[in-house]
Structures are given as C-alpha cells and as structure tokens.
Amino acid sequence: AQSVTQLDSHVSVSEGTPVLLRCNYSSSYSPSLFWYVQHPNKGLQLLLKYTSAATLVKGINGFEAEFKKSETSFHLTKPSAHMSDAAEYFCVANTGGFKTIFGAGTRLFVKA
Amino acid sequence: DTEVTQTPKHLVMGMTNKKSLKCEQHMGHRAMYWYKQKAKKPPELMFVYSYEKLSINESVPSRFSPECPNSSLLNLHLHALQPEDSALYLCASSQDFYNEQFFGPGTRLTVL
C-alpha cells in the first residue's frame, strides 16, 4: 500500500534558524513528490516538486527538498525561518494513479 | 493565468437548502478535483474529473453532486447537508495525474 508519513505533527523554530520538516513515503513505484504549504483558511500552495529529475529540488521562498530513494525520504528544509513561514505543510505523493496521497501535515511555528 | 478561483468564499446554509459551489481554471488543465478539508486535517478527495468525465467518486454521500459543464468549470451541488458537512471545500486542477495540482482558495461552508 502507498503511504506518506510526516514524522512530526508540530515543529517549532526561532526566526532566523533552520527549518527541517520530515517526510517518508512508501510506494511500489517511483512517485512524484510534492510539498505544499497552507496558511490558515487558505488553499494549498505548491512549494516544490520532485519528478525523477534532480534529487535536490529548489522551491519557492527559499525552501529545498532532497529525494533519497534509499531512505524513502523527501525532507523539506530552509536555511533561515521567517515569521511568514508559520503555516501547515503537507507532503504529497502521486504514483500515477488517480489518487493523490497526503501526509497528515506538520504545523510549523516560528518564534520571534 | 495560473489561478484557480472558487466562489463563494463563505457559505452558510440550512439543512434543507440547495446551494452550489463553483470552481474555474483557465490553465487548460484536463483534470479537476473536489476536496473536503476538516480543521487540522489534510484534504480528503471527493471527486475527480478527467476530460470532463467523472473518474473517481470516493464513496461520497449523494447529497453532494458534482458537475463539470466544460473543461474550465467545476460545480459542486449541495442538498440536504448535515452539520458534519461543515468544512473547507477545495477545488484543484492539474495538467494530468502525474503533475502538481493547483488549488483554489476554498469555500468555507457552514451547515446549521
């Protein structure tokens, strides 16, 4: 069965410090992987995507993610957190079927 | 134009009302989706349209009725809803099932 696991339900960082949001996936096939961000009462915005090209993917707003097939991971990082990064983050997998698989989400808190 | 629009932004309805949610995209995408999102949860897929034909219905109650009049429009007709149907309803579109989905801002639905 295919699944996406976000290892932390909440992450709290101080402004200006690095961010790490962890995501593992399980799939019989090589999936397309995505990170989305959702601010309160808003829709989801795509941060970045992996589709079997470069394993290090750069996204918007300074976010990056690295696809590691051996670890089945796709962790999201940012060198320096900003207050505006406080939001819910979803790791998402698409294995080519109709269904898109969402992780449970990680709430990022950024302290001043 | 890389935007998915949804109307209305907010909707309050009684259990005997009939209402509709609307979604529009002009990116030439051929797949469109309806999701339901409860607080602090990831979006749950309700319906998928591919080339204006319903491809997936995730066993959604018949009080929700989707309609895809053309490749740019997607409606969700609501009738005899229950208070537990109160949620954020998100529309999304994608070029195909392998690519990223673009989400609208959502409609916040409250059923009294």
Test mutation, B24, B93, B97, B110, chain A, max A CBs within 10 A: B97
Instruction: Give percent above pLDDT 90 in chain B.
Output: 79
Q: Sort out which chain B residues have CB atoms less than 8 A from A46's CB and list them.
A: 100-102
Instruction: Please tell me the predicted confidence (pLDDT) of residue B2.
Output: 66
Interchain contact, B100 vs A46, CB within 8 Å? yes
CA distance A96 to chain B (A): 5
Instruction: Note down pLDDT in tens along chain A; length 112 residues.
Output: 789 999 999 999 999 999 999 999 987 777 889 999 999 888 999 999 998 778 899 999 999 999 998 899 999 999 999 999 999 999 999 876 667 899 999 999 999 9
Number of CB pairs, chain A paired with chain B, less than 8 A apart: 53
> What is the SS3 assignment for chain B?
CCCEEEECCEEEECCCCEEEEEEEECCCCCEEEEEEECCCCCCEEEEEEECCEEEEECCCCCCEEEEEEECCEEEEEEECCCHHHCEEEEEEEECCCCCCCEECCCEEEEEC
**Which of B42, B88, B97 lies closest to A96 in CB terms?**
B97
| Residue pLDDT, tens place only, B23-75 | 999 999 999 999 999 999 999 999 999 888 888 888 899 999 999 999 899 99
How far apart CA B88 and CA B108 sit, in angstroms, is: 4
Interchain contact, A100 vs B100, CB within 8 Å? no
